[in-house]
Chains A and B, each alone.
Chain A
Amino acid sequence: MHQEITLSWLTAAFARDGYICGEEILIPVYLALRLEKPLLITGAPGVGKTEVAKVLSRVLDTELIRLQCYEGLDENKALYEWNYQKQLLMIELSRQGCARGEEQPDLFSEEYLLERPLLKALRHPRRPVLLIDEIDKSDQEFEAFLFEVLSDFQVSIPELGTIKARQVPVVVLTSNGDRELSDGLKRRCLFLYIDYPDVDKETRIIRTKVPEAGEVLARQVAAAVNRIRADLDLRKKPAIAETIDWARALVLMEARALEPNLLRRTLNLLFKDQEDVETFNRELGVEELCRQVINGA
Chain B
Amino acid sequence: MPASYQRGVTLEANLVYFIQLLRRLGLRISTAETLTALEALQEIPLDREGMVRAALQAALVKDGARVALFHQAWAHFFHPDGEQEAGSGPQLSPAGNSPPETPEPEQELLFRGRPLELPASAREIYRQLTPEIRERLQQFVRASEAGAPDDERFRPLMASLVSGQLNYWGRQLAEEQALVDPWQGTEMDASLAQIVAAADQDTGLLWADLKELARADPELVIRVIRRLVRRLAGVLARRYHPTRKKRVISWRPSIRRNLQYGGLPLRLIYRARRVKKPRLLLLADVSGSMARYAAFVMEFIYGLGQVVGGVEAFVFAEDFQRVTPLLDKKLGPVELQDSLMSATPTWGAGTRLDLALAGILKDYPALFQKNTVIVIISDTKTLQVPAAAAALKAWRRRVKDILWLNTLRREEWGRWQSVAALRPYCRMFPCRSLGQLEIILREYL
Pairing of A with B: yes
Please give the residue numbers on chain A whose beta carbons come within 8 Å of chain B beta carbons, in ascending order.
Answer: 7, 23-24, 26-28, 30-32, 34-35, 37, 40, 42-43, 71-72, 74, 76, 81-82, 84, 87-88, 107-108, 139-141, 159, 177-180, 183, 186-187, 189-193, 195, 233
The smallest beta-carbon distance between B437 and chain A, in angstroms, is: 15
Given contacts A186-B62, A195-B67, contact A27 B239 (CB under 8 A): no
In the bound assembly, the distance between CA atoms of A78 and B364 in angstroms comes to: 47
B171 within 8 A of A: no
Whether the pair A141, B234 counts as a contact (CB closer than 8 A) is: no
Q: Which residues of B contact A186 (CB under 8 A)?
A: 62
B442 within 8 A of A: yes
The smallest beta-carbon distance between B305 and chain A, in angstroms, is: 17
In the bound assembly, the distance between CA atoms of A93 and B55 in angstroms comes to: 59
The smallest beta-carbon distance between B308 and chain A, in angstroms, is: 15
Which of A76, A159, A179, A195 lies in contact with B260, CB distance below 8 A?
A: A159
Whether the pair A179, B235 counts as a contact (CB closer than 8 A) is: yes
Which of A23, A35, A43, A179 lies in contact with B54, CB distance below 8 A?
A: A23
B256 within 8 A of A: yes
Given contacts A35-B36, A84-B256, A140-B241, contact A193 B64 (CB under 8 A): yes
Given contacts A28-B58, A82-B259, contact A180 B235 (CB under 8 A): yes
The contact string, 1 if C-beta is below 8 Å from chain A, for chain B 216-251, is 000000010010000100110111111000000000
Which of B33, B43, B253, B272 lies in contact with A34, CB distance below 8 A?
A: B43
Given contacts A87-B259, A190-B58, A193-B61, contact A179 B43 (CB under 8 A): no
Given contacts A27-B58, A40-B62, A187-B33, contact A76 B239 (CB under 8 A): no
Selected A-B contacts with CB under 8 Å, 29 pairs: A23-B48, A27-B58, A28-B57, A30-B43, A30-B44, A31-B43, A31-B55, A31-B59, A35-B40, A37-B36, A42-B64, A81-B256, A82-B259, A87-B259, A88-B259, A139-B241, A177-B231, A183-B28, A187-B30, A187-B32, A187-B33, A190-B36, A190-B40, A190-B58, A190-B59, A191-B59, A192-B58, A193-B61, A193-B64
A233 (CB) vs chain B CBs: closest residue: B223
A43 (CB) vs chain B CBs: closest residue: B64
Q: Which residues of A contact B256 (CB under 8 A)?
A: 76, 81-82, 84
Whether the pair B442, A180 counts as a contact (CB closer than 8 A) is: yes
Whether the pair A23, B51 counts as a contact (CB closer than 8 A) is: yes
Which of B33, B39, B272 lies in contact with A35, CB distance below 8 A?
A: B39
The smallest beta-carbon distance between A254 and chain B, in angstroms, is: 38
Whether the pair A140, B238 counts as a contact (CB closer than 8 A) is: yes
In the bound assembly, the distance between CA atoms of A193 and B66 in angstroms comes to: 10
A178 (CB) vs chain B CBs: closest residue: B234
In the bound assembly, the distance between CA atoms of A192 and B54 in angstroms comes to: 9
B50 within 8 A of A: yes
Q: Which residues of B contact A189 (CB under 8 A)?
A: 62
In the bound assembly, the distance between CA atoms of A30 and B57 in angstroms comes to: 13
Given contacts A35-B43, A71-B240, contact A27 B54 (CB under 8 A): yes
The smallest beta-carbon distance between B270 and chain A, in angstroms, is: 12
Q: Which residues of A contact B62 (CB under 8 A)?
A: 40, 186-187, 189, 191
Besides A34-B43, A141-B241, A179-B238, 18 other A-B contacts (C-beta < 8 A):
A23-B51, A27-B55, A27-B58, A31-B58, A35-B39, A72-B240, A82-B260, A84-B259, A140-B238, A140-B241, A177-B64, A177-B234, A180-B234, A187-B32, A189-B62, A190-B40, A191-B57, A192-B58
In the bound assembly, the distance between CA atoms of A42 and B231 in angstroms comes to: 14
Whether the pair A24, B36 counts as a contact (CB closer than 8 A) is: no
Give the bracket for the number of chain B residues in contact with chain A.
35 or more
The smallest beta-carbon distance between B51 and chain A, in angstroms, is: 5
Q: Which residues of A contact B231 (CB under 8 A)?
A: 177, 180
Q: Which 10 A-B pairs have the closest CB atoms?
A: A27-B54, A28-B58, A193-B64, A186-B62, A190-B58, A191-B62, A34-B43, A31-B40, A24-B54, A84-B259
In the bound assembly, the distance between CA atoms of A180 and B235 in angstroms comes to: 7
Whether the pair A28, B39 counts as a contact (CB closer than 8 A) is: no
Whether the pair B260, A108 counts as a contact (CB closer than 8 A) is: yes
In the bound assembly, the distance between CA atoms of A84 and B51 in angstroms comes to: 51
Q: Which residues of B contact A178 (CB under 8 A)?
A: 234
In the bound assembly, the distance between CA atoms of A72 and B239 in angstroms comes to: 10
Q: Which residues of B contact A195 (CB under 8 A)?
A: 64, 67
Find the residue from A30, A179, A191 having the highest chain B CB count within 10 A. Answer: A191
Q: Which residues of A contact B28 (CB under 8 A)?
A: 183
In the bound assembly, the distance between CA atoms of A76 and B67 in angstroms comes to: 36
Whether the pair A139, B58 counts as a contact (CB closer than 8 A) is: no
Find the residue from B58, B237, B272 having the highest chain A CB count within 10 A. Answer: B58
The smallest beta-carbon distance between A166 and chain B, in angstroms, is: 23
Q: Which residues of A contact B223 (CB under 8 A)?
A: 233
A192 (CB) vs chain B CBs: closest residue: B58
The contact string, 1 if C-beta is below 8 Å from chain A, for chain B 30-42, is 1011001001100
A181 (CB) vs chain B CBs: closest residue: B62
Q: Which residues of A contact B54 (CB under 8 A)?
A: 23-24, 26-28
Whether the pair B44, A7 counts as a contact (CB closer than 8 A) is: yes
Q: Which residues of B contact A26 (CB under 8 A)?
A: 54
In the bound assembly, the distance between CA atoms of A32 and B33 in angstroms comes to: 14
Q: Which residues of A contact B33 (CB under 8 A)?
A: 187
The smallest beta-carbon distance between B52 and chain A, in angstroms, is: 9
The smallest beta-carbon distance between A20 and chain B, in angstroms, is: 16
Q: Which residues of B contact A76 (CB under 8 A)?
A: 253, 256
Q: Which residues of B contact A108 (CB under 8 A)?
A: 260
In the bound assembly, the distance between CA atoms of A108 and B259 in angstroms comes to: 11
Q: Which residues of B contact A159 (CB under 8 A)?
A: 260
A42 (CB) vs chain B CBs: closest residue: B64
Q: Which residues of A contact B260 (CB under 8 A)?
A: 82, 107-108, 159
In the bound assembly, the distance between CA atoms of A190 and B56 in angstroms comes to: 10
The contact string, 1 if C-beta is below 8 Å from chain A, for chain B 348-390, is 0000000000000000000000000000000000000000000
Q: Which residues of B contact A30 (CB under 8 A)?
A: 43-44
In the bound assembly, the distance between CA atoms of A108 and B39 in angstroms comes to: 42
In the bound assembly, the distance between CA atoms of A42 and B58 in angstroms comes to: 12
Whether the pair A193, B50 counts as a contact (CB closer than 8 A) is: no
In the bound assembly, the distance between CA atoms of A95 and B239 in angstroms comes to: 45
In the bound assembly, the distance between CA atoms of A159 and B326 in angstroms comes to: 62
A141 (CB) vs chain B CBs: closest residue: B242
In the bound assembly, the distance between CA atoms of A187 and B33 in angstroms comes to: 6
Find the residue from B57, B61, B62, B442 having the highest chain A CB count within 10 A. Answer: B62
Q: Which residues of A contact B59 (CB under 8 A)?
A: 31, 190-191
